[in-house]
Chain A
Amino acid sequence: MYQYDQHDQKLVDQRSQEFRQQVSRRLSGLISEDEFKPLRLMNGLYLQLHAYMLRVAIPYGVLSSAQMRKLAYIADRYDRGYGHFTTRQNIQFNWPALVDTPDILDELASIQMHAIQTSGNCIRNITTDPFAGVAADEEVDPRPLAELLRQWSTLHPEFRYLPRKFKFAITGSANDRAAIKVHDIGLRLKSGADGKVLVDIWLGGGQGRTPKIAQLFRENVSITELLPYLEATMRVYNRYGRRDNKYKARIKILLAEVGLAELQAEVEEVFSKIDKSRFEPVEAELSRLDSRFIKPLYHEIPEDENPEPDEPANLAVSLTGTSDLNAPVAHEYNRWLERNVKQHKQHGYAIVVVSLKRIEGIPGDASADEMREFASIADDYSHSELRVTHRQNVVLPHVKQTDLASVWQRLSDANLATSNIDLPSDIIACPGMDYCALATARSIPVAQEIAAHIRAKEKVTSVGDLSVNISGCINACAHHHVANIGILGLDRGGVENYQITLGGRSDENARIGERMGRGLLASEIAPAVDRIIDVYLDKRQLTETFSDTYQRIGKAAFKDSIYGDDHAIQTA
């Protein structure tokens, strides 16, 4: 993975020193909270319902074990012993004291991390496929470009005061696991005919109160033209994006208002006049970055050897002395292999996804002890590397197939072997009204209740991949618009009220979910989700996904299941 050189290090050190001075001016009363606000927001420090919240960037979701240990240390030393992994591959600490935040930034700088541009109207953390560089279906490894974009966007003088925040996501695979079509700009890397990388630029996607799927803005951009083209695009957005209304300030609104053709023409015009010689250093930088993302020293396993994960039966024998495949331990391990282990591009290796969606747990939360255990397992079995996903889980990207049983055992001992990846109980939830100043309803307790409600069903049926996302306000941090089952918590005269949308998806065929009807009370949500899943299980054909079934049969049957007479729903 990428290692800072002296320049990267100097930049984060300087920022940390600068922030220390700003905090000290605030603490001594030299500047007011109003004056301090833009300064702290440049460094990811928010003021939430109960306390400050510090959002730390995990660039493109990649973490070393040393970095994960430091996050654990920060959680213990400066917070309440846990952190919250977000849908944008960041981690949030919910309880830091203002006086401690400069020390936290110093701690982060010491392990090549920072909180730069994790808030404010600037280019935010660049996100990508959590399986980047290891996915079996990958065409182009997006990490070198993601790092290049991180550098380009960091402190770029022209784009620090944009009309609104700006989010990039990148994928190098036809199967989009980075949700690029619901980002301001999504980049799809492809391998061209001559082996050179080409980029499709998707523009104007987003969620919030005006959800939009991105449009294909420019196809087959060469790597050498990409940065000048993006700079031209940002320049046009910065000049013409609306600033009169913050809800209409994202680039998706500019695109909708002026139209695709006119926006393309304007960007082309600016692009044609940009001095491309300014970008000459980019080529050298990209090849330097390529060399930083070489594959780890895998244990080469001959193609004709087929190392399989340890059989559940063998595991049962070693753990319990019985070879009964129905022994609970064998059954659990088998389910975990099925749900949490993904195909790796290196023969003999596997990708392990660790679920942060435990029963009664808080989606995306990890305790300091758990973070240390991740680090330790990564050191022992995954080349000291980890990833965090936009679905708020953790990935061990380089596990030998023959180590899978040992990894499962370690995770299981730490209560981290929940085998529900991409199942309905793998819920994305924002912090909601338990923490967030913007929230209009709680997300976490509702997520917990749904999970508890549908876990049994997941075990006895083959419900398969089905996404349930819950946002506690219209800003849609939990991506409810693009969930198969999306839930939006609102406030109706002081009572929490939850709207359901169905049929959304965030992959390469991204769609915005359709709203069903009037909202439900918190207590009605879990049973309603249960009945929606029943309709799907009843109506699906063969291997149909939830979206397929929904597209085929339409909303009526699902809507009936929510509001039908049998259920006597009391709504707010």
Chain B
Amino acid sequence: MQYRLLSSGGEVRLVDDEWVNAAITIALQTELETGDNYALEKLVSSEQVLLIEFQSVADGRGFSSAAELRENDGYKGLLYACGRLNPDQLTLAFQCGFDGMVVDEQGWVSYGEAAWQQALKPVVDSGYAQTRWNAIDSIWMLRGAAVR
């Protein structure tokens, strides 16, 4: 099976099962447990690609998981969203710390290439609150810069 790997900067690359299998897919916890949810001591320094799977368009857990991996756990490697996501959510994924999204054939076809290409265009406006990984300054940053 082939997948499209959509990355910030607008790149679309074809990858196959082998690539996906080589990456580590993180299963999201459903129970609240304190402690080391992702066996991070192994992952944080790993060279491997991490994938976070979204089980439905309405299930936004992965956005917080990504933010937590990046911000709380200090993960600096490659991190991609996969599963049931729509083009509108690509921007959110970038803003929450993902490097991009893995889209399967079905997702690619059902929303159409045009919608995905449109979603890859740089975000003009990123809202108010600064997330750490925005390429574009948030409104609060812009206001602060204007004062200085």
Contact = CB atoms under 8 A, between A and B. Distances in A.
Interface of A: 5, 7-8, 10-11, 14, 38, 121, 151-152, 154-162, 227, 234-236, 238-240, 243, 254, 258, 262-263, 265-266, 269-270, 273-275, 278-282, 284-285, 288
A269 B129 contact: no
A14 B132 contact: no
A151 B143 CA distance: 13
Given A161-B58, A238-B64, A270-B68, A254 B131 contact: no
A157 B92 contact: yes
Contacts of B92: 157-158, 160
Contact of B140 (A155, A160, A269, A285): A285
A232 to B, nearest CB: 9
A492 B58 CA distance: 33
11 contacts: A5-B143, A7-B143, A157-B91, A158-B131, A161-B63, A234-B64, A239-B29, A270-B68, A275-B71, A281-B144, A284-B140
B96 interface: yes
Given A238-B64, A239-B65, A273 B72 contact: yes
A263 B32 contact: yes
B34 interface: yes
A34 to B, nearest CB: 11
Interface string B63-97: 11101100111000000000000000101100110
Interface of B: 28-32, 34, 57-61, 63-65, 67-68, 71-73, 89, 91-92, 95-96, 124-125, 127-132, 138-144, 147
A154 B63 contact: no
A158 B60 CA distance: 8
B93 to A, nearest CB: 8
A263 B65 CA distance: 17
Contact of A284 (B89, B95, B124, B144): B144
B86 to A, nearest CB: 9
Closest 10 CB pairs of A and B: A161-B60, A157-B95, A281-B140, A273-B72, A155-B127, A151-B128, A238-B64, A240-B32, A157-B92, A7-B139
Q: Is the interface of A mostly helix, strand, loop or mixed?
A: helix
Given A14-B124, A236-B32, A239-B29, 19 more contacts: A7-B139, A7-B142, A11-B127, A151-B128, A154-B127, A155-B127, A158-B67, A161-B60, A161-B63, A234-B64, A235-B68, A238-B63, A238-B64, A239-B28, A239-B68, A240-B29, A262-B34, A273-B71, A282-B140
B47 to A, nearest CB: 23
A281 B91 CA distance: 22
A281 B143 contact: yes
B32 A258 contact: yes
Nearest to A11: B125
Contacts of A269: 34
A372 to B, nearest CB: 33
Given A262-B34, A281-B144, A285-B143, A274 B60 contact: no
A274 B132 CA distance: 10
Residue from the set B29, B57, B131, B140 with the largest chain A CB neighbour count within 10 Å? B140
B25 to A, nearest CB: 17
Given A14-B124, A157-B127, A281-B143, A238 B34 contact: no
A236 B92 CA distance: 18
Nearest to A237: B64
Give the residue among B34, B60, B92 with the most A Cβ atoms within 10 A.
B60
A239 B142 CA distance: 30
Given A121-B58, A278-B132, A266 B32 contact: yes
Given A14-B124, A281-B143, A156 B129 contact: yes
Contacts of A281: 130, 138, 140-141, 143-144
A14 B58 CA distance: 23
Contacts of B89: 161
A238 B73 CA distance: 17
Contacts of A282: 140
B75 to A, nearest CB: 12
A234 B60 CA distance: 12
A239 B130 CA distance: 20
A238 B147 CA distance: 34
Most chain B beta carbons < 10 A, residue from A157, A262, A263, A269 = A157
Nearest to A14: B125
B128 A152 contact: yes
Contacts of A258: 32
A270 B60 CA distance: 18
